[in-house]
Structure 1
Amino acid sequence: MNNKFINVLRSGDAGKLKDFYASNGQLLPTGSPAIIGVDQILGFWQAGMNAGINNAKLETLEAEKFGDKVIEQGAYTILAGGDFIIDQGKYIVIWKNEGGNLKIYRDIWNTSNPPTPSRALENDTIFMIYDYVKAEMIEKYHNFNENLLKPVAVEYGTSSSVRILQKLNKNEDGTFTCIYLIDPSTSTVSYSMPNSLVMYYGEEKGKAIYENYKTYLAKKSTSTFIVTSVW
């Protein structure tokens, strides 16, 4: 059944999940009220597919039968754009015999990702740096961020406010747009990459790392400041 569910995600048509759920089925996702009834469940999954979710990994860790029900425990990874990880966590599914077939009676999951740090409030500032990364350099770019830049951010206390976003699809020129999203930014902190690398690694090594980083880019980075507001 897990493979069939994954195939439906890949198809982009949540209507194909109709026969998976019991008539009184419910979803109980992380940070959300219960989603009750087949129509609401299909709407939930279709919204996710429309947003780009198109694959998953589901691993059953344990399953045990209790009367007309089976309780399954497992681990999940939700993917978009083929292999871009959106979420990872664990789940409990209660399967119920309905009309001679096992159907999902309760679908419960919660993320294993750490809590989201505090983000910008009204009138706070967000700083965004746009990198245009050569397709053949995208893996090296991510390795640079994880292995060389992240330790600098941790050392200088900026790691909790910085996220790195990547556009799922290539740009028309074959590059990937990647964004350093600094949320919130503060005037008391320097977000200069070359200066931070030199401070952490020393002048010679820091400059060499920065020059190597620039070879991953197809063109010069751009940046912008945004002031937040509320509706």
Structure 2
Amino acid sequence: MKKNIILATLAALFFLSISHPSMGQELPAIRKEIEKDNALYFRLFQNKDAAIVTLYTVDGILLPPNAPAVSGRAALLKDFKAAYADTKLKGVKFSTSNVYGDGKLYLCEEGTWQVFNTNGSIIDTGKYLKLWKKTPEGWRIFRDIFNSDRKS
């Protein structure tokens, strides 16, 4: 009987420990790392740098509005080169609103974005969700979905 009570107590403690994942002390530090990567994304986009795809996981997927999913770094590079060829675009800036998760393998970032033309004027705004994945290289974008605030 005593053995059953101990086992039941251990089982209850186990289920309680996994049912309420901790936000952890690392989340603010991870958010700063993500915000640094977002600033790097802006600089790479502004300079039309192919290295922008290294901010994504090897199997990363971009989910743009009104277009098919863009899967993997080779396809991402092709997509970014097309965006770079658009002479009206100069850059994109992200503003992180929230970061959710436990900081172990995946995190979800929620925020807003702005797109700038060559004159530095904002030509579009919107919102996004990014699913970040922890890799040996650090946090990388695993899934990236966004849409515009403009009415169709």
Residue number in structure 2 paired with 1:20: 55
1:60 to 96, 99, 118: 96
Cα 1:62/1:11, change in 2 over 3 Å: same
Larger radius of gyration: 1
Residue number in structure 2 paired with 1:178: none
> Is 1:75 matched up with 2:112?
yes
Q: Tell me the secondary structure at the aligned position of residue 114 of structure 1.
A: coil
Residue number in structure 1 paired with 2:16: none
Q: Is the 8 A contact 1:55 1:82 kept in 2?
A: no
How far off its partner does 1:86 sit? 3.0
How far off its partner does 1:100 sit? 4.8
Which residues of 2 match residues 139-218 of structure 1 at below 5 A? none
Residue number in structure 2 paired with 1:104: 141
Query: How many residues are matched?
Result: 114
Gaps of 5+ in 1: 116-231
Alignment identity in percent?
25
> Is 1:4 matched up with 2:40?
yes
Distance 1:82 1:27 in 2: 27
Q: Is the 8 A contact 2:60 2:142 kept in 1?
A: yes
Larger CA deviation: 68-77 vs 53-62: 53-62
> Is 1:39 matched up with 2:65?
no
Q: Which runs of 4+ in 1 moved over 4 A?
A: none
Query: Pairwise CA RMSD of aligned residues?
Result: 1.3
Which protein has the bigger helix share?
2
- Over residues 58-105 of structure 1, what are the superposed CA-to-partner deviations in whole Å (9 max), with x where a residue is unaligned? 110000224401100000011121423332100000100122511110
Structure 2 counterpart of 1:38, one-letter code: R
TM-score by length of 1: 0.47
> Is 1:87 matched up with 2:127?
no
TM-score by length of 2: 0.70
Gaps of 5+ in 2: 1-36
Higher relative contact order (CA 8 A, sep 6+): 2
